[in-house]
Amino acid sequence: MRSGLLFGLLNVAVALWACWLFRQQLQNAGWLRVQGGVSLLALLAAFAAAGELTSLAEAHLYADEIVHAENTPYQRIVVTRWKDDLRLHLNNNLQFSSRDEYRYHEALVHPGLATLPAAGRVLVLGGGDGLALREILKYPQIESVTLVDLDPAMTRLFASAPPLRKLNQDALHSPKVQVVNADGLQWLEENDDLFDFVVVDFPDPSNFAIGKLYSAAFYRLLEKHLAGGGLMVVQSTSPLYARQSFWCVVTTLESVGLIATPYHALVPSFGEWGFVLAGRRDYRPPQSYAVDTRFLSPETTPALFLFPKDMARVEAEVNRLNNQVLVRYFEHEWRQVIR
């Protein structure tokens, strides 16, 4: 809201400046300046009250109690609570519910990492809530984890708020973890480090700024940071509700020469959710898990890699920086779901 009001203030200020600059040529320059002044005062008042207006709107938007809300240069962060259920919302989009987030994060991390018993170095892109970190740090052989998240407010919140620290088991305070607040694409371009396992946990590709992080150029760059025999995993939206978007991610990973292995898991807060493992070798699901899990088991894991007819592969273009087709797929498919 504040950004829109600021844009309006700038427009009115420019209009007033133009009225003064061309006052000799304008017939009603005085009256136009009065109108502009009134508009400017109204916008200033609205800007001052924007925080209260946002809070009032959110009180109606969210059914649960808001326990934290803040605007950052990158997003609107809201945490709500109902009984023992904490929920994170970014820009009004639900990111997790504490009641079932373990399903998502176990599915994101363990099918890949459990097949890499010698993995020592891990990279997490996104995931500023520390929940993927929590799962990674269960493996004693992990030597270091670099977490790159754009928004310092996210990592600060989840490293300081006691209920959120309890949820991520203080993962952001682990001596094995290095937190870097930077753009993932830029950070990859500036670093030469190699990693045994990479977790790509970005928000869904709802706009072009995020869509670039699902592009062939991004995956080509990321592949250069994979150690020999390493794997990456990409959260890839829902293969049920955004089927073509999901398979677009698979197609894009394959286009840069990676072997992509798609799978999915049921997360009640979201429905069926999709992931893609990618590397330079064929993937086989783990025969066992050496760490504690609440959701996954060796017996049920193979079923995650089976796709019923309504989620089976469909044709999709490669997502490139110069076409951003994934954003168009995503916008179209989720608009149909909302309807």
Residues acting as catalytic residues: 201
Alpha-carbon distance 40 to 49, whole Å? 14
Give the angle subtended at the CA of 122 by the CAs of 96 and 211, to the nearest 5°: 55
Q: Are 251 and 217 in contact (CB under 8 A)?
A: no
* Residue 213 DSSP code: G
Question: Do the strands 177-180 and 144-148 form a parallel or antiparallel pair, or are they unpaired?
Answer: parallel
Closest CA to 92 of 72, 104, 78, 71: 78
Alpha-carbon distance 287 to 284, whole Å? 9
**DSSP letter string over 67-96?**
EEEEE-SS-EEEEEEETTEEEEEETTEEEE
